[in-house]
Chain A
């Protein structure tokens, strides 16, 4: 079944650790996105990608980085996690020509101690 998957769902780590949040989709979508959302707050776009080898920074500045080596995979990496990175990270994808119709994963909730 076509879907978008995020792992891990929950992660608690110490300051200074390197972490990678995985996002994979089997929707066949070209566009993928990472949003950051604090509880009860709005979604902030931090990264997006048009396709393979294409990545752009979003509206909210983030110390994270992303890569898009394969169409279906869009991982997000934090080289050195800090408590300020504690948040929920949502991955989404959309089809070509249907930019506003996003399909979201279940999210990865990161807590940095």
Chain B
């Protein structure tokens, strides 16, 4: 069975400090990993996908198959980054996406 683990429920950082939101997964096949974000009073939305290797709003995430991790990073946190972040895994061949429990990022001014 596939599983996504986000060990931190809450992560508080000061503005300008680096951010790392942790995500580990378990899946026997070749996974596709995603990060989703939910800002206050907004709907859940896709932030980035590992296959595109893109940087969105200054965030990047690298898939490490050896460590089965997909941590989300940003070098300098901004107040507008405060939100709920969910790591998600889509298993190839299946038609479903599994989410982690989410990490609330709080950026302190």
Contact = CB atoms under 8 A, between A and B. Distances in A.
Contacts, number: 59
Contact of A101 (B34, B44, B101, B104): B34
A100 B32 contact: yes
Interface size class for chain B? 20 to 34
B98 interface: yes
A45 B86 contact: no
A100 B95 contact: no
Interface stretch (A67-75, A76-84, A103-111): A103-111
A89 interface: no
B99 A99 contact: no
Contacts of A107: 43
A99 B88 contact: no
Contact of A48 (B36, B95, B104): B95
Nearest to B1: A59
B95 A59 contact: no
Given A42-B99, A42-B100, A99 B43 contact: no
Contacts of B9: 40
Interface of B: 9, 32-34, 36, 43-46, 49, 86, 88-90, 94-102, 104
